[in-house]
Amino acid sequence: MPQPQSILHVGESVRVAPRDTVRAAQIPRFVSVVLPCLNEEDAVGDTVREALRGLQAARVDGEVIVVDNGSSDESVLRATEAGAHVLFESRRGYGAAHLAGVRAARGDVVVMADADQTYDLEHLGDLLQPLAAGADLVLGSRLRGHVSPGAMPFLHRRIGTPIFNLALRVLTGAGVSDTQSGYRAFRRDIPERLALEAPGMEYASEMLLKAARSGLVIEEVPSDYRVRVGETKLRTFSDGWRHLRMLLLLCPHFTLMVPGLIALFLGLVISLTSMLTSGGTSMFGMRWSPVFIGPMLLVVGSQALLLGALAAYQSPLTPERTRARLAFMGRPQAVDQILTAFLLVAGVGASIDFVLFVAWLTSRSTESVLGIAGIAQALILIGVNGIVAMIAADYSREKIGW
């Protein structure tokens, strides 16, 4: 039986393919390959051996760490026999397993991959070269390499991955061809520096988003992708939604504030239209009165804008320009001032409502005031919702000036 080998030493010195910009201090001295594993007995042994060959081919010292995430088969035995150092992580999830592996890693550089034979680890040196040249994070892009027939389902390759690529570009400006690649190399302190914490598959998206927002240097290299050995653990729709949700939740300035501003603008235009055309607007032979949709958009838009501003003020991923515009939230008595503003808004709405009520009692009210009534109701709701949101934020000790 082969003896376990958790560390691979090669040569007297570390060498990486030369580049003009490479400085000796940047060359990885020790590389840790981290492989999360859940019931991969048919593939994990070959994957470990391939990773060891990849370290040797790259002429770097290193180790292979397999993080078992609750396997019920012989994955642990196969990994140990192949020469890996095996850890156990009780908290289930791809992200949880990988973070455990990074914490235990001894390398100054970590290579992350899957234990299912999908990635070509014999050429992991390709990921190390950009790091030696100064990159912080390197992706092995499947879409720039050769994808074996049947390795990537149509939904993943043609729909899911392009959508996430576009979302990351819109949210951060980073142009990445394969955001969902699980084959990456980075400096070991990156997960801690970025405060990565996602326990599931969305860990990959969290890493990229935070890295791009933090101004880290991200590069890509082509990487082949093979048909996995064993049963897939990926759930297309639920995992896809968790990735998308992660991207959206970490960017409240974009996902809440921008739609809120749009809704406010549309609501104002429609509400003014309802005031000017009390009888409604003719559309496609039908009479449409926007007296309700306008105020609704005003309420929804203001609520989204407020909640987005509260979240964006605290988020370390908020762009500096947006953060500067929200700086007033850090001033003394900011909560009191914002509460006073919302109280005034509600007061104005209530006053208008009172005048309209008196007019109705004195039989002076007509249908022409419906638009004004709608705006009055919207102002009341905006004021009350704002007061409730600010009290809740203050009560929960959010980082707003008080």
Q: What percent of the chain has pLDDT over 70?
A: 84
Q: Cβ(302)–Cβ(326) under 8 Å?
A: no
Pair (290, 223) in one structural domain? no
Mean per-residue pLDDT of the chain: 83
Residue 247 clears pLDDT 90, i.e. is over it: no
Q: Cβ(225)–Cβ(119) under 8 Å?
A: yes
How far is the C-alpha of 110 from the C-alpha of 159, rounded, in Å?
30
Pair (168, 301) in one structural domain? no
Pair (226, 300) in one structural domain? no
Pair (174, 312) in one structural domain? no
How far is the C-alpha of 26 from the C-alpha of 29, rounded, in Å?
9
Residue 17 clears pLDDT 90, i.e. is over it: no
How far is the C-alpha of 118 from the C-alpha of 134, rounded, in Å?
27
Pair (157, 190) in one structural domain? yes
Write the pLDDT tens digit of every residue in 320-377.
888 888 888 888 888 888 999 999 999 999 999 898 888 877 776 666 677 788 889 9
Please indicate whether residue 256 or residue 11 has the higher confidence score (pLDDT). Answer: 256
Residue 12 domain boundaries:
7-249
CATH number of domain containing 125: 3.90.550.10
Pair (238, 291) in one structural domain? no
Beta strand pairing status for 184-187 and 218-222? unpaired
How far is the C-alpha of 271 from the C-alpha of 294, rounded, in Å?
5
Pair (270, 208) in one structural domain? no
